[in-house]
Amino acid sequence: MAALRAAKQALRREIKGRVAAVSDQEKLRQSRVVSQKLFRHPKYLSSQRVAVFLNMHDEVRTDNILQDIFKRGKVCFIPRYFTKSSRMDMLRLKDMEEVKTLPLTSWNIRQPADEDHDREEALTTGGLDLILMPGLGFDKKGNRLGRGKGFYDTYLERCRTHPKGKPYTIALAFKEQLCAEVPVGEHDILIDEALYEDEE
């Protein structure tokens, strides 16, 4: 366990360094490329209930994706992280305007307040068809390196017990986040695929 943790920590530092060296302009450019790939993706097109993260500075920008979800009339869910545990809920977002009203967390991302109990949680109703996932690093085998809190792994475990079953998972990545191999443990859940700008 200790060796795995150390390997993950070292890789996290390396990737953070690589991503930090990418200019904001380049982050935006790659985010557009990744968004366009997503908008053509059959799984995205056929999904009705979609969860998407509100990005941090070192993640693929998701504003255009949120707008597209609403434009196509899909149902949108965003994460609420409980920082004291590895629990996360996916709560319904009604429209783009609502994003601006959400409080900022210590991580500088917006999320519904803990006392905001009126929002629909995806798993209490119809489940999810697709989760668009953040992460620090990814390899081509579907291994994902998160930030070490286990939010998404824990949530996907909960999805498995929902009648709808586990949603399809697509990670959104800068090409600087790709690794030859991500070290994983038994609790790390594979993602179905990662979208990034490849050398097409």
With residue 98 as reference, give the H or E element that holds it. helix 96-101
In whole angstroms, what is the distance from residue 143 CA to residue 23 CA? 26
To the question of whether residue 135 is assigned a binding role by annotation, the answer is no
* Residue burial 118-149, b: 16+ Cβ < 10 Å; e: rest: ebeebbeeebbbbbbbbbbbbbeebbbbbeee
To the question of whether residue 166 is assigned a binding role by annotation, the answer is no
To the question of whether residue 59 is assigned a binding role by annotation, the answer is yes
To the question of whether residue 10 is assigned a binding role by annotation, the answer is yes
Single-letter code of the amino acid located at 60: V
To the question of whether residue 150 is assigned a binding role by annotation, the answer is yes
Judged by DSSP in three states, 181 sits in: coil
Please give the DSSP secondary-structure letter assigned to residue 196: -
To the question of whether residue 4 is assigned a binding role by annotation, the answer is no
To the question of whether residue 181 is assigned a binding role by annotation, the answer is no
To the question of whether residue 152 is assigned a binding role by annotation, the answer is yes
To the question of whether residue 61 is assigned a binding role by annotation, the answer is no
In whole angstroms, what is the distance from residue 194 CA to residue 142 CA? 7
To the question of whether residue 12 is assigned a binding role by annotation, the answer is yes
* Residue burial 155-176, b: 16+ Cβ < 10 Å; e: rest: bbeebeebeeebbbbbbbbbeb
To the question of whether residue 43 is assigned a binding role by annotation, the answer is no
Residues whose CB is less than 8 angstroms from the CB of residue 85 and which lie 6 or more positions away in sequence, other chains included:
none
Q: Copy the structure tokens of residue 143.
A: 């291994």
- Binding residue ranges for ATP: 8-12, 144-152
- Binding residue ranges for substrate: 54, 59
- Binding residue ranges: 8-12, 54, 59, 144-152
